[in-house]
Chain A
Amino acid sequence: MATFLQQIINGIAQGSAYALIALGYTMVYGVLRLINFAHSDVYMFGAFMGYYTANNPWIKSTFGQSLTAAAVVMLIAMVLSAGLGILIERFAYRPNRSETRFTLAFWLGILGAAAGQLMSPGFFALTLGAAIGIAIGVVGEIAGLRPVRQDSRLSLLIIAIGVSLFLENGGQVAFGADPKFFPEIIQTAQWNVVGLKVDSQQVIVLGVSIILMVLLNLLVHYTRTGKAMRAVSYNLDAAKLMGINTDRIIALTFAVGSALAAAGGILVTLLYPKIEPLMGVMPGLKAFAAAVLGGIGNMTGAMLGGLILGIAEVMAVGYGQSTYRDAIAFIILVLILLVKPDGIMGKGPTEKV
């Protein structure tokens, strides 16, 4: 019985992390009907930003090993990831549905930077390449090369796959493919609660997750912005007609979702300190399964789904075959889709004949 409860605790900790990532998936799906495959890589980005922040000498000396240090690291990671999310939304997803300037310049700039780096490694070549790319892009745009505004869900999906590939491989180039270890930014302790072992990290993970989810809930249900976000998720066109700046709301949704993913990334490193550029792939898919389990587009569902998945996974490993660990998420995913596709919290869509 003790082991069982112990596993539950482990599962809840794991599940909270999944829940945070799942929230990002569900929020973006809610406003754009897009499965943002790149989300898992923002999670990775967040973890790495946290890593570099935590290893920064100034940060180390100012905050040492403390709760404040952890908070600072997490905050910085969240802000940087929110920025990444906004960039992605603006230059990868938005051009498909509304007029976006400098799209060509942005991507050619990246290609230029890559080309520069390939030809002669170093900061100078990189910047020069980027500058040339941007210049060509601007010229091209003036000449009339604009993205096709076709609002196509399929193209959006492929673009998401492309961005994901870009971040994963870009991460390997920028951070190095070898795994790194997150430094200890907070002292660990272990407590004995009614005979069960509870790590301080687990408490932090759960605590921070709860705080973030409460804040998110406040945002979405008690602010005007939150109302706008909900309106956009119900009906984009109607929201536009009501005077809501849908582009801004969507950008905000991405920012919040990405920040949550980054938080999830940092929290997970408290439990498992190893980070590497592909660390987002599996957790991403699983968090996605969690979002579907809860009902894709539904935030409470994402939180529930994450918790259930976390517990289920820990149970499976603890009592069953560990090699099937990854399959648990997919089996749950398939089962829920076949039995109740709208998930635990979802309601069925109806089509008028």
Chain B
Amino acid sequence: MKKGIFWILALAILALLQSGLQGYIGAYYYQIVIFVGINIILAVSLNLINGTTGQFSIGHAGFYAVGAYTSASLLYYGEPTFRGWISFLPHSAQDVVLLLFGLLAAALAAGFAGLLVGIPSLRLRGDYLAIVTLGFGEIIRVLILNINAVGAARGFLGIPEFSNFFWVYLFALITVVVVHNLVNSSYGRAFISIRDDEIAAEAMGIDTTRFKVMSFVISSMFAGIAGGLFAHFTAFLSPNTFQFTTSFYLIIMIVVGGMGSIEGAILGAILITVILEAFREFGAFRFVNFAVLLVLVMLFRPQGIVGSWSLFRKAGAR
């Protein structure tokens, strides 16, 4: 029963940390820790499709946005109604149920978006796939920008706050475990075989389209959950948070960490989030220094820090 012990222990540790963390490190660092956790979910899920399955997608921010706005609007508009349904529960338990409900909706909506985007796009290879996912990500953002019910360009205010360290890191843990188990299973081998040689994989009985879409949908579902957790922490959403630059930062995380590995994704998420925060003290030079550092890392250690399997293909080849 090792699994059961693992989870009980994990829940206990997280609950313990949750109760004392903010008081101990202060609100500013607490917030950074939260963002690290959310980025871990985003990076690990992105790595499933980019690193493990080898399908280069730069539209992750779009699914992040779908999840965030779905959960936010569902709970913003529906909170009184839903609370009414579960009024027999104590108030704090109601909060838990509402959050889980919102996250479920976020995951489903983002997963559905992943399906809609994935099915037509995953026929494409390489650069074309990257560009089309970029395009879809931006289309999603512009669509949201035009929906008044979620604040459009002004932003969405007053979202109920349900998420905190405990929930963010619980789901980060869940994401890591799920992706890890998946990658180390027969499904993972199917994904990797698609990455290594799609034609051979197909010839060995692996329906590559189906598996690519599968990987894509799972990946976007987790992005949706991250979105929900984000929305209910910051209590405010703006379409600007979900621009393609965010997708770029996520790619940077998994590449700098070491593409193709879960540890690389986690490390990259932590590193990039922390560095970007730390560089605030450089004022106007914040992103200038970050950019130079990024270029240096890519020139001198392109395989990333963990440096396991990487999508290296010759630049001159078609």
Contacts and interface: CB of A to CB of B under 8 A. Distances in A.
A324 interface: yes
Contacts of A288: 131
Contacts of B127: 33, 35, 296
A337 B317 contact: no
B295 A337 contact: no
Where chain A touches its partner, the secondary structure class is: helix
Contacts of A146: 300
A64 interface: no
B288 A148 contact: no
A117 B256 CA distance: 28
B139 A331 contact: yes
A152 B142 contact: no
A289 B294 CA distance: 26
B120 interface: yes
A163 B296 CA distance: 11
B139 A118 contact: no
Contact of A114 (B142, B289, B301, B315): B289
A323 B299 CA distance: 40
Given A158-B251, A338-B132, A165 B291 contact: yes
A175 to B, nearest CB: 12
A101 B131 CA distance: 33
A330 B128 contact: no
Contact of B288 (A95, A114, A349): A114
A154 B127 CA distance: 10
Interface in B288-311: 288-296, 298-303, 310-311
Contact of B135 (A337, A351, A353): A337
B316 A151 contact: yes
Nearest to A339: B120
A135 interface: no
A317 interface: no
A317 to B, nearest CB: 14
A154 B311 contact: yes
7 contacts: A96-B302, A157-B130, A162-B295, A170-B288, A337-B121, A337-B132, A353-B199
Interface of B: 56, 120-121, 124, 127-128, 130-132, 135-136, 138-139, 142-143, 145-146, 199, 244, 248, 251-252, 255-256, 259, 282-296, 298-303, 310-318
Given A155-B299, A161-B248, A337-B135, 16 more contacts: A33-B317, A34-B315, A96-B302, A114-B282, A154-B56, A155-B255, A158-B252, A159-B298, A159-B299, A166-B288, A166-B291, A166-B295, A289-B135, A296-B127, A321-B146, A341-B128
